[in-house]
Structure 1
């Protein structure tokens, strides 16, 4: 395992975000990958590796970068790697010394692929309204509850206070609801799932054009 530069551990803002993330417990229908591991696909060190990946990713993202906010972790994304919208095969695209926590690499899900296809260069800051994986008990992703969104608001607020994004693109209504009271201009765009792909592409392109 590659050593993480010590400076990554001296950032009080980053530590605040990670502490808030780790403090949220998993339940029978919610998996917190920064706190727990799935023995079917990874070893007990996986949560620590995901936290390390997230440290490196967040440190590498400049303050003021636009934030693209999703709804919740998907089973093939941050749930496995620790980085929002990034499954194992997407990690090399970030150009960072990140580590695969799992025993196997799965292709990204359709939402992550749509977001990567629409994202500009340089990349926005990726995050989720709910930084855990809400599931139905069998691995299938479900929509997060209002209570789960509320529990994650301190994490999102800590991230905003540190990174000070210029604007937020809310991908779906759940993300829009989470960003409602944040002190950053937020724009809603249709979620690419369930027939919304074309509208998402149009909305994301308009958001990027307004940033230029």
Structure 2
């Protein structure tokens, strides 16, 4: 089994539970076909393989997937409509699959803020928790905060990623990811999380690290 497959399989085996949905193993029948989890695993494997033979890259890591992006596409911080562009940025020979017939219509504001300053070569984008944390509000599925228990059950798969790719620098996006990695004894550089209209702080923090220096912050996140 190649390293990417080992990581994908480790994530697939993490059980769903109250408030946590493993979209690499399960699917939402009202919006997806039964092969959607397999296609997401395929996409995540392709994504990881694109980094394996490259020099050590930066790792940008946040809390968890949102209901707008990786929950449907399988690729961190990548809305299904951005899969083709991500593949081109990674120089991939094989195309990503389209797992879902009816994903959310647009990317999250967090992903949009990250994409606006994505450098080349692309950093390895990841989450402390690779499953989707959710809550149901007024009959609708919404994003939810992760818990220490969520971090603990995803710890082994995160360790696999760190050991496999040995990132030269780890940028923790927000307090949750910084604290989770700190509990693992991993040294990180923390930046502001761009959610809840803090994208200006995020961009400013990244500019201090030499990332996104060409960005003109006109207030437009899209």
TM-score of the aligned structures, taking structure 1 as reference length: 0.88
Question: Contact 1:78 / 1:86 at 8 angstroms: preserved in 2?
Answer: yes
Question: Contact 1:129 / 1:178 at 8 angstroms: preserved in 2?
Answer: yes
The alignment partner of 1:177 has SS state of helix
CA distance in 2, matches of 1:187, 1:101: 33
Alignment of 1:195 onto 2:201: no
Q: Which residue of 1 aligns with 2:56?
A: 64
* Count of equivalent residues: 199
CA distance in 1, matches of 2:210, 2:96: 27
Alignment of 1:30 onto 2:20: yes
Provide, for residues 45-101 of structure 1, a one-character-per-residue CA deviation record: whole Å limited to 9, x for no partner: 011100000111100122511000011010011110100000111101122410110
Pairwise CA distance, 1:28: 3.7
The alignment partner of 2:141 has SS state of coil
Provide, for residues 13-41 of structure 1, a one-character-per-residue CA deviation record: whole Å limited to 9, x for no partner: 22321222011111241111111011121
Alignment of 1:143-162 (within 5 A): 143-162=145-164
Q: Which ranges in structure 2 are unaligned for 5 or more consecutive residues?
A: 212-222
Q: Which residue of 1 aligns with 2:117?
A: 118
Alignment of 1:16 onto 2:18: no
The alignment partner of 1:140 has SS state of strand
> Of residues 54, 79, 86 in structure 1, which corresponds to 2:78?
86
Provide, for residues 110-166 of structure 1, a one-character-per-residue CA deviation record: whole Å limited to 9, x for no partner: 100001112212111010011011011331101101110111111111011111110
Q: Which residue of 2 aligns with 1:7?
A: none
Aligned Cα root-mean-square deviation (Å) = 1.6
The alignment partner of 1:17 has SS state of helix
TM-score of the aligned structures, taking structure 2 as reference length: 0.84
Pairwise CA distance, 1:104: 2.8
> Of residues 74, 95, 98 in structure 1, which corresponds to 2:96?
98
